[in-house]
Structure 1
Amino acid sequence: MSYRELATRPVLAWSAVTVTSRLPIAMAPLAVVFLVRERPGGYSLGAVLAAVYVLGEIVGAPALGMRMNPQRARPQLAAGLAVGAAGFAGLGLLPGAHPVVLGALALLAGVGPAAVPGGLRVLLTSLVPERAVTQAMSMETVLTFAIWSAAPALAAGLALGVDPAVPLLLMGALLAVSVAGLRMLPAGWAAEPQEEGASMRRMLLRAWPVYVLGAAGLTLLALAELVLPALLEQRGIGIGWAGPLLAGFSIGSAAGGFVYGLRGDWPGSLSAQSTVLVLAVASGVALVAVLPWTAAIAVALVAAGLLQAPSGLARNLALREILPPSALAAGYSVMYAALGAGYAVSGTLAGALLKVVAPSTAILCGVVLTVLLTGAGFVGERRLIRRAAVPGDVQAASASASASAPVRKVRR
């Protein structure tokens, strides 16, 4: 199926809602820093507010995603977006408020729409035929990277060129528009009733290796974004190159997501694809740490970006295979929280390492962490596959029987 066949009215409406709901999320960390930077200790306060916002996302995504009703998801999505709009509007209207008040508003803005990306992803896959799911999710990836590429420039431009409160007010308005746009989308998606005795928490825990791989992938993204300016200074390269180099990474990611969707099935299992791609991205980031030339760093970053988006797509498709439709929104929300946690942990680690080691060494330490997380996720998934292939009563029988005794095959 070609991308042109995705140009239907429901998918276009979904795209409009996605842009208006995700652009504020992408702008938020930088926007809150600019909001308070002119206050005493403004940059420190801004960093804390950004951390509180991300913490709200990490906590809110799984908590709200697990409570989402597949058949009636739209009211829940609208409520989350409305809460986020109120949080952003409050920050924009009260920039001089006490830090505790600003922290509460930032937390509210993070928690409210945290489960929306997961819910919208499941809604998108319900709008297209099964054979077009890979293309639809590839299109979502391209759109997401485009949003994240434009968000920092938009937040900084409005804050510096107009007023620091304007980005927050715009973000609140965009979320309010997305609430209205939800009326153009279905109320929910079809999902089989949850099996008797099956726990949502247990189903989600079954997919933990995929979440670990997701955290590993975002560890690399954090390294590329947060340590690159310090690395350029170490190499004697103008720090102004950081923006164009990171833009190249984002453009490469958008291109990689598009190419991945051109083909319906790639060699190997989705788990193997994700593992290999994450390790390949890690190799590219490691090259960034050791290469001394600007052009070589640019090539390594673009190559890493080309593989970053396909690795994420493979993980999302693998999650779709593991979880039943009734748990997909919760699963994507947990994945969203895992990505945020991976980014936060890597950023904290990089900040601590930069105080005692060179930036290139900090990047290599982060790459080692990524490889360890990737290995843990891959081994965990292999074990889950083996357990799924052998029913529990057969496992018990084989443990007590002799190796030569035949084991009767049990139908599932």
Structure 2
Amino acid sequence: MSYRDVVSRRVLTWALVAVGARMPVAMAPLALVFLVRERPGGYSLGAALAAAYVIGEITGAPVLGMRLDPRRARPHLAAGLLAGAAGFAGLGAFPGAPAAILMAFAFLAGAGPAAAPGGLRTLLTSLVPAHAAAQALSAESVLTFGVWAVSPATVTGLALGADPRLPPLLAAALMASSAAGLWSLPAGWAADGPDGPAERGAREGAGASKPRLLARAWPVYVTGAASLSLLALAELVLPALLEQRGIGVGWAGPLLTVMAVASAVGAFLYGLRSWPGLLRTRSAALMTGMSAAVAVVALIPGTPGIAVALAVAGLFQSGAMLTRNLSLREVLPPEVLAAGYSVMYAAVGAGYAATGSLAGALLPHTAPSTAILAGVVLTLLLTAVGWWGERRAGRSAPGAGGPLPLGAAGAEGAPVGGGRDPEGGL
């Protein structure tokens, strides 16, 4: 397994477009806080704006993702990115506007481009040979984690070193450039192709509505939500945990950067070789390992130990996210795959919000370490539910359970969401 088939001029162009679309997403929460922190009640308003942004993402992703036309996706994606650019531009241009107007801008900035991650991911896999799809998804994860690693420093440097209006204005410019860059890429992706598992599943699911096909893949969404719920714990509770340990809160940024860099390394390594076992079993094992690492973060006293635990959590996190994307690719017909990625985007956002809300509700009444452990328990529960749902949907088949190439179809079981479950039975 190698990345040789992923390297091309078109994929490089796609990467530039993807950075323009995704860096604003990574910048948004911190940029919104810095934008209004000097106003009376600024931190509370910043949290409300971040919530409005996330609600926009969760609302827009499934609604807009389901409207994508596989063969003519470019106008839909460009319109969404331009809407997001308008939302960010409004925030940067009118930081002193009434809270309700700022929340409307934040909602638009989140909702407008919410279908872009799913659409761009599907477009990427159409730019590479079918056998290199797993490596393409790994490369995408490396790019995403790299963006998340540099975004906090970019926002902080611009907001504190120059003007707090600059981060949202930069986000607007990046999204607008991403929309323009779409015209350097194919207008869409084919909804048909070789007679692979997804294509056979498309025929087997013929006649089923798009919402029904998407709903049948609910176990994958549940596990996806679990994968980002732990990230919410790391980002939102880490500063309070450091204070509890007597460590400077300023270490939160570098520690989270360590986790993001480790995630990028993990995504790269995951795409280099084949891995044994069923996708759902692999996912559950990775999620369990990540949960254990985050639990260690809650229990260990020193900064070096916390850094090592977060790095291990990042390594597991990237693999868990990749297995979810690969599972979704196998269980959904190609014509609804972009919509499936968008629903996944909404699901992981909901997982992030749910775990963050749980931690926020617990922090006034318990120690940060206890709040993290409670979030870990919630994550493991979601992981178990998702694994059970995937196992229940699949059927055992002869030959299942042997080593599989990364993302490849092995023994096929019962249809899940219109496609076939390549993992078979456990």
Say yes or no: does 1:198 pair with 2:208: yes
Counterparts of 2:19 and 2:159 in 1: how far apart (Å)?
20
- 1:160, distance to aligned residue in structure 2 (A): 1.3
Say yes or no: does 1:53 pair with 2:62: no
Corresponding residue number in structure 2 for 1:260 = 270
State whether residues 142 and 265 of structure 2, in contact with CA within 8 Å, keep that contact through their aligned partners in structure 1.
Answer: yes
Taking structure 2 as the reference length, the TM-score comes to 0.89
Query: Cα distance 1:197–1:237, how it changes in 2: closer, same or farther (>3 A)?
Result: same
Instruction: Supply the AA of the counterpart residue of 2:241.
Output: L
Counterparts of 2:301 and 2:92 in 1: how far apart (Å)?
43
Say yes or no: does 1:320 pair with 2:329: yes
Aligned equivalent of 1:376, options 385, 396, 420: 385
Query: Cα distance 1:254–1:389, how it changes in 2: closer, same or farther (>3 A)?
Result: closer
Corresponding residue number in structure 2 for 1:16 = 16
Counterparts of 2:305 and 2:88 in 1: how far apart (Å)?
40
Counterparts of 1:118 and 1:61 in 2: how far apart (Å)?
8
Instruction: Supply the AA of the counterpart residue of 1:351.
Output: G
- 1:196, distance to aligned residue in structure 2 (A): 4.3
Corresponding residue number in structure 2 for 1:296 = 305
Describe how 1:3-402 pairs up with structure 2 within 5 A.
3-192=3-192, 196-263=206-273, 265-386=274-395, 389=413
* Farther-moved stretch of structure 1 (328-337 vs 241-250): 241-250
Counterparts of 1:279 and 1:309 in 2: how far apart (Å)?
13
Corresponding residue number in structure 2 for 1:409 = none
Counterparts of 2:413 and 2:169 in 1: how far apart (Å)?
53
- 1:72, distance to aligned residue in structure 2 (A): 0.3
State whether residues 135 and 271 of structure 2, in contact with CA within 8 Å, keep that contact through their aligned partners in structure 1.
Answer: yes
- 1:240, distance to aligned residue in structure 2 (A): 2.2
SS of the equivalent of 2:138 reads: helix
- 1:386, distance to aligned residue in structure 2 (A): 3.2
Q: Which entry has the higher C-alpha Rg, 1 or 2?
A: 1
Instruction: Supply the AA of the counterpart residue of 1:61.
Output: A
SS of the equivalent of 2:310 reads: helix
- 1:63, distance to aligned residue in structure 2 (A): 0.4
- 1:390, distance to aligned residue in structure 2 (A): 6.4
Instruction: Supply the AA of the counterpart residue of 1:187.
Output: A
- 1:6, distance to aligned residue in structure 2 (A): 2.1
- 1:341, distance to aligned residue in structure 2 (A): 0.5
Counterparts of 1:41 and 1:64 in 2: how far apart (Å)?
34
Counterparts of 1:389 and 1:188 in 2: how far apart (Å)?
30
Runs of 5+ unmatched residues, structure 2: 193-201, 397-411, 416-426
State whether residues 152 and 253 of structure 2, in contact with CA within 8 Å, keep that contact through their aligned partners in structure 1.
Answer: no
Instruction: Supply the AA of the counterpart residue of 2:374.
Output: C
* Farther-moved stretch of structure 1 (186-195 vs 274-283): 186-195
Corresponding residue number in structure 1 for 2:405 = none
Instruction: Supply the AA of the counterpart residue of 1:182.
Output: L
- 1:4, distance to aligned residue in structure 2 (A): 3.8
Higher helix share goes to which structure?
A: 1
Query: Cα distance 1:205–1:292, how it changes in 2: closer, same or farther (>3 A)?
Result: same
Counterparts of 1:243 and 1:166 in 2: how far apart (Å)?
20
Counterparts of 2:249 and 2:342 in 1: how far apart (Å)?
35
Deviations 1:40-73 (A, max 9, x none): 1111111101100110000000000011000000
Corresponding residue number in structure 2 for 1:400 = none
Deviations 1:230-281 (A, max 9, x none): 1111122222222222111111111100000001x31111111111100110
State whether residues 5 and 129 of structure 2, in contact with CA within 8 Å, keep that contact through their aligned partners in structure 1.
Answer: no
Runs of 5+ unmatched residues, structure 1: 392-412
SS of the equivalent of 1:95 reads: coil
Instruction: Supply the AA of the counterpart residue of 2:82.
Output: A
Instruction: Supply the AA of the counterpart residue of 1:164.
Output: P
Deviations 1:205-254 (A, max 9, x none): 11100111011111111111111111111122222222222111111111
**Identical residues among aligned pairs (%):** 65
Counterparts of 1:303 and 1:68 in 2: how far apart (Å)?
37
* Farther-moved stretch of structure 1 (115-124 vs 164-173): 164-173
Query: Cα distance 1:129–1:95, how it changes in 2: closer, same or farther (>3 A)?
Result: same
Between Structure 1 and Structure 2, how many residues are aligned? 390
Deviations 1:319-371 (A, max 9, x none): 00000100100000000001111111111110111111111111111111011
Counterparts of 2:234 and 2:21 in 1: how far apart (Å)?
25
SS of the equivalent of 1:70 reads: coil
Instruction: Supply the AA of the counterpart residue of 1:272.
Output: T
State whether residues 223 and 382 of structure 2, in contact with CA within 8 Å, keep that contact through their aligned partners in structure 1.
Answer: yes
Instruction: Supply the AA of the counterpart residue of 2:350.
Output: A
Counterparts of 1:196 and 1:252 in 2: how far apart (Å)?
42
Instruction: Supply the AA of the counterpart residue of 1:155.
Output: V
